[in-house]
Amino acid sequence: SYEQILATRKNHLTPNLVSHFKKPLVIHAGHMQWLYDHEGRRYLDMFGGIVTVSVGHCHPKVNQALTDQISRLWHTTNIYMHPKIHEYAERLTAKFPGNLKAVCFVNSGSEANDMAMLMARLHTGNQDILTFRNAYHGMSPYTMGLTAHSTWRYPLPGINNGIVHVMNPDPYQGIWGGAACRDSPVQTTHSCNCTPGSCEAGNAYYNELEQTFKYSLPRGKVAAMFAESIQGVGGTVQYPKGYLKRAADLVRANGGLFVADEVQTGFGRTGDHFWGFEGHDYTPDIVTMAKGIGNGFPLAAVVTTPEIAATLGLALHFNTYGGNPMASAVGISVLDIIEEEQLQRNSLEVGTYFLKCLEELQKRYELIGDVRGKGLMIGVELVNDRETRAPLAAPHMLDIWETCKDLGVLFGRGGLHGNVLRIKPPMCINRADAKFAVDVLGCAIANTLA
Ligand code: PMP
């Protein structure tokens, strides 16, 4: 029964698993953009298991690829060669520009970022790593240091060793907010028309980054800087145009590598490009990816140049499951489906329509402070006051979020104060789904204000 499921969770699973719903949801099945609860009620999934279900729940072609592989070979050690990992390595690296041609497969985003930190430190001989405040890069003891958001950090000594958190160039909540421009297919309330590099707020943030090199880094040297192309967990924060490219140049000029964390923004999600970094007009030295890469299967990867990858030859580096035959078969089928079903184009098309509908809703409700994003990576920031941009108080926020659930639409939630609705559905959704989700959000807001 429902009560038994809740009791088992409480008694036998660790307490880090929290549900903020007053009436927690029990999910029994999924198909494409739909999820079904224990009583068979259907929900439109706007969160995709945290941006992970990229092509659709139980997509028949992924199911088929996995079933075929399961009946042939589940696992063998990487000491032997299995053809699937080679086929997949060729397919995946073909998606990258420049010399990003070497891939190491792992099982989660945290592992991928762990490995990127290791590679950067070994390759450059430097120790310090820069990340943005409000970033999320993982929860392993190594990557927890990168994750610059107090909610996500245990009080452990030493997690900040060799890590410097820099000012987040956040055009909406940042201290130089208000006018910074962001790269978006539709003009949103707080965007402007600056060309890359000419944005006043963007320049202020860049100058602040320069100060970090001057004051915080020994000899001004750095091993790497990590950046999400759009901050995900942090609340769909888009950076000023041109900022990341300039940051990458600065990092390289000071002996470091630039790491793009594409765990949320990769695989066509932003619509305009296959990788989020391409929207910022630079090529990173290392790219980490997880989530959407496997449509829910535990699969992740680090892609870099052969020169940087050579660092992994300095020790016997081993990962039991990384790139196993099942994961490789799933990864290949995800790439096939994104191409065959033109999901990147769909992301752009439906995402742009979605943003426009949300902007219409924003005109009706003062508490929608900001609508932002690209493709199917969208954030809706709810505020108490449009002028001060003070976050909407938690009880109202939770009420709206749960009412949407009760009306059949599952949104995500994020941002430092949990006041940003996150919309990152499977990329197979259509315009009618977008319209339905926005209508439901409108009803939930009206209900809360009533
Ligand atoms: N990087 C980003 C941008 C993420 O959003 C996440 C997960 N939320 C991670 C890394 C860590 O991935 P995982 O949970 O698979 O370890």
Q: Where are the domains of the chain?
A: 2-55+342-449, 65-340
Supply angle C-alpha 404, 408, 409, rounded to 5.
Answer: 55
- Residue identifier of the C-alpha nearest atom 14 of ligand 1: 109
Residue 182: pLDDT band by 50, 70, 90 thresholds?
Answer: low
Residue 190: pLDDT band by 50, 70, 90 thresholds?
Answer: very low
Using the mean position of ligand 1's atoms as its centre, give its distance from the Cα of residue 296 in Å. 13
Using the mean position of ligand 1's atoms as its centre, give its distance from the Cα of residue 214 in Å. 30
Average pLDDT over residues 268-285: 96
What atom in ligand 1 is closest to the CA of residue 109? Answer: 12
Q: 65-340 in CATH: which number?
A: 3.40.640.10
Average pLDDT over residues 329-340: 98
Residues with CB under 6 A from ligand 1: 50, 108-110, 113, 136-138, 228, 232-233, 261, 263-264, 290
Average pLDDT over residues 193-214: 83
Residue 199's SS3 state is coil
More confident residue, 295 or 194: 295
pLDDT of res. 205: 92
More confident residue, 196 or 52: 52
How many other C-beta atoms are found inside a 10 Å radius of the C-beta of residue 116? 30
- Residue identifier of the C-alpha nearest atom 12 of ligand 1: 109
Per residue in 231-257, pLDDT tens? 999 999 999 888 999 999 999 999 999
The average confidence (pLDDT) of the chain is: 94
What atom in ligand 1 is closest to the CA of residue 135? Answer: 3
Using the mean position of ligand 1's atoms as its centre, give its distance from the Cα of residue 288 in Å. 10
Residue 190's SS3 state is coil
Residue pair 196/281 in contact by the 8 Å Cβ criterion: yes
pLDDT score of 186 more than 80 = no
pLDDT of res. 350: 98
- Would the ipTM clear 0.85, i.e. be above it? yes
Q: Which residues of 215-248 are buried (b: 16+ CB within 10 A; e: fewer)?
A: eebeeeebbbbbbbbbbbbbbbbbbbbbbbbbbb
Using the mean position of ligand 1's atoms as its centre, give its distance from the Cα of residue 137 in Å. 5
Superfamily of domain 2-55+342-449: Aspartate Aminotransferase, domain 1 (3.90.1150.10)
pTM over 0.95: yes
pLDDT of res. 316: 86
Using the mean position of ligand 1's atoms as its centre, give its distance from the Cα of residue 233 in Å. 9
Closest by alpha carbon to 103, among 114, 118, 120, 91? 91
Average pLDDT over residues 218-224: 95
